[in-house]
Structure 1
């Protein structure tokens, strides 16, 4: 049975989001492979060649060849009935050992899915990349994703609540170095304008155990973020790397404000159930101040 042709709706970068600066010497074909996998992650369903072309902007001829190649290599599955491709379990298993070493008793993907299910809010996994936070994975709360965060974009650490949740795990000296690097570009007119202001906000996040942000978001949106530091992984080097990760519940401000007590309860419960390697326990009586 042929698949009904539909318009592909994906999250679009906002003025706060940036494309990754990969520098010179980038292998274009390699970049396209991983952008294709990120596209499937955002679609969260099988897709036809025409849908992939529409969503990615890639040329149709080279896209077809790329899909066929990945199918023959076993990284994509092909359904001749509706002419769709979908990532295979072989792709899903790649790199899984890293998670198993860093968080041997935890399931980060299930934790994100459960947080989104219990709160009705999208959940973002962020990882620190230099002075930026990159949105590595998103569990979308709705199929209407135009207003959500695209997977793969980056923001400076000082310009997003998730960035402060990550910086809270860093020593004060490194926080100041990161802040200085983020604030150095010319003509900044953002909410955060000084290293001292960054240090104060990081201290506030450390004391609370989370970052609740409204000013650092796009208009009408908010986020509730917390770090995944203090890992109990078997390898101290992988434990250190896990401190560079954090989660954020992000959505419309009115929705988050109405559900804040439920969010804190859900974070504590999900962490205990799905993230036993990570010590997260937010005091529900902690005053919630925005950063």
Structure 2
């Protein structure tokens, strides 16, 4: 049984895992009572994000909700204030929250603040160290992906479905998007193929799938979200990804999203070009340089080869 909004009143704070003043996010570790035994508590990760301001076409309603203004300074024509908002309406919430429960040590590590480093993963390191680690990951860790692909969960969120076994994929909103602010559009395209775990697996035989994703999303987004042109759509792949089932991130070019920086993201068009025009086995041969948190298992594997 999943936790409910009411059960959040039973959330017991343990510590702050991370906070980002730029992205306006806060990640907390705590506990919630077990769904099967209320006398047992289990770890829970709570992700909190401030939602985008809602504006009307002619005016913003945000000023109507300011209950108190605190002056922090002024200079000539410039005035700086902090403000306190009155409670929002249900249709205009101030916060977006995600609960991961019960949270594993892997979840806690993933969402904890950690130092990051640039590392180089050669093809040999990948084959001898990293690939065995990926293959050792239990399938249950990405059961949520298969729940979506098989139509068991989140069917109401699916925006597009192509069930072709080789080239098909589904599209749904990323949990980080508020589903209304077009300038922060964030979608996920998840491949139907179970044999492609990450970018390293891609070869010539996957070009039809990659091009199918690219072409259909460029047609889908302007149709589904009027006001967004196809040349305002950015598609990229993370390496290393947060889960090992091939997926493509789809965002508006104005969206500031985690993981879209150099050293983690790879444009889908560039991936296609490297395979098609440089080497059919480009990603199985290349040395890839990227950023990793120092507690990430792959970081430890790579550093172990350099010890």
Assess same fold via TM > 0.5: no
TM bucket (normalised to shorter chain) is under 0.3
Larger helix proportion of the pair: 1
Larger Rg: 2
Considering fraction of residues, name the structure with more strand.
2
TM-score after normalising by structure 2: 0.24
Higher RCO (CA 8 Å, separation ≥ 6 residues): 1
